[in-house]
Structure 1
């Protein structure tokens, strides 16, 4: 009885240290961890103990999160909200998490991301996981706005893999100057447009594997070259075309083996005759062969121009010969046309003078009478 009374007194003094665990959750004060996993929750539970540093709310039915969802959780450093079917993240949702360093929103259905959804005080956030989280391309545009508006200059890792990005919005990462690792694998990327990788001044790792890159245009190569020299690249699993038109990419790849960590394993997907062949091996023979083909194409084009010139010259000669044979008739028609034009002009001139001189106008009127 005495121990129980002492415990109650200690709980009253410590308050949050003896806080109860939310229903359907598991709490460990020693590990500073709360887990609410697969409990069919419809919202973030209230009453989460203040000692919590690691908060796992995963595998539930939560559709929306906002600023009221995480009040009083100043000590949370790692927050996992994966696989909850979250579709909307309001502005300043995580602003109250003053110590937040890692945020996992993977495997959700984010359709609406408000402009300041990822604003965190003191720029504490270091890792953001949005793998398999974006519902459609509209949410990609929302994300671009949110990343520009939110204070994420201290973010170190960003995972956007397994999303249907197709094309990266311009300057998507322009405010993430401290980013070190960027995961863009299996994101259906077909190209790297201008300014798509702008602002990544400290990047150390970029994963572009398992996308839809058949080659990299001059614009895309400039984007990769704009990254810091120490940035390691991964390009494996893309359906590269080892055909004419990819000479610039082939030359760039041969000169970038130190940066492209999986360069030796890159394989051709097109044409069928070169499928699974090494891109580096194919690249060595690509440029000379394409030059010969281009030279043959130029010769064929020049031959076509010569033939066209001969045909046009012959048509011109025929036209001049026809004109010569009909020179008398043409001359007569020209004279007739000239006389007709002169008569019309003289009639207009006479009428103009009659209208401008009242006396001629009276003579004309009396003559008509």
Structure 2
């Protein structure tokens, strides 16, 4: 049995040991218990460091050389609400990587080189995540299929902000965001999107802001316009700095833009990029005052109708002249017809005579004797 003094000393040593472990800081990291923050910035780390204190709410592991992250990297970090893994050259996100972070609200994976994202890479248990930053995070645009699959199978139903800017995306698979029903902000700027198709933004029933600036949109066809119209009425759109081509094909988009100026926040700044004669012309004015597609179409129809009328008149006159010539030469034509008829009759009689001779042997002998 330990004496009272010894028990006090023993308890003090145990408490100090526990406190030391709780307050320990991983090598090459900086920890602040008062600020609940741990920073492991540009320390040439190859893996997520172990021994991160449990008090950490803000965890910054950035600018390192961490190739992959998995579920074992963040165990025991129930208090982390903000996690930044930016600029680590991460290429792989394994299944349920962030599931242990039960309080996580902000996740930053920007400036990485993701090539392999497990379909359940973003699956979490308690739907706590509110902001996900994946700007400049994909190694190339081909990783969009993995990303779309992971977003469709994720448990990010409470996500409010998603940043996919700067990833060189050429297209977005249909229903990529179908499980993000509470998303309010979607950043798609600085990509290479060439079109908006049916189902691109399906399921975004609470969207408030969609940023499509600095993409490769030459126009938005009627299918894409219907997709934009299906977004919530309060959603604001940004479409600036796209290479819009102002031919008659863009007229439906230009007319839609005039009707939707309240939703498109930068509508007044949208201009034509091609052709050269239309460069920097406002898209709001392009359909009605500059392109003049309806006027040209009406003029073309009128010119075509005039051509048909003129052709009919010419053909009618030619027909009348032909009939008049026939009338003037009716006697000569009749004589030529009679002569041709008589000539045909003589030829026919000659052929008939030769046929009778060839078919009757007796007449054939008489004909031969007469010839001798």
TM-score (norm 2): 0.77
Partner of 2:119: 115
Deviations 1:328-363 (A, max 9, x none): 9xxxxxxxxxxxxxxxxxxxxxxxxxxxxxxxxxxx
Deviations 1:112-166 (A, max 9, x none): 0001000111100000000001122331000111011111110000000011111
TM-score (norm 1): 0.78
Highest CA radius of gyration, 1 or 2? 2
Residue pairs, 1:1-369, within 5 angstroms: 10-14=15-19, 17-18=22-23, 20-286=24-290, 289-298=292-301
Deviations 1:155-210 (A, max 9, x none): 00000001111111000000100000000001111100110010000000000001
- Structure 1: segments with no counterpart, 5+ residues: 315-324, 329-369
| Inter-partner Cα distance in structure 2 for 1:150 and 1:165 | 20
The DSSP-based 3-state class of the residue aligned with 2:297 is helix
| Inter-partner Cα distance in structure 1 for 2:273 and 2:227 | 23
Q: Is the 8 A contact 1:242 1:286 kept in 2?
A: no
Q: Is the 8 A contact 1:171 1:195 kept in 2?
A: yes
Query: Aligned residues, how many?
Result: 308
- Structure 2: segments with no counterpart, 5+ residues: 1-8, 319-339, 345-372
Q: Quote how far apart the aligned CAs of 1:8 are.
A: 5.2
| Inter-partner Cα distance in structure 2 for 1:132 and 1:299 | 54
| Inter-partner Cα distance in structure 2 for 1:34 and 1:197 | 37
Q: Quote how far apart the aligned CAs of 1:302 are.
A: 6.3
Partner of 2:336: none
Please provide the CA RMSD for this pair: 2.5
Alpha carbons of structure 1 residues 195 and 286: separation in structure 2 relative to 1, 3 Å: farther
Q: Is the 8 A contact 1:243 1:286 kept in 2?
A: no
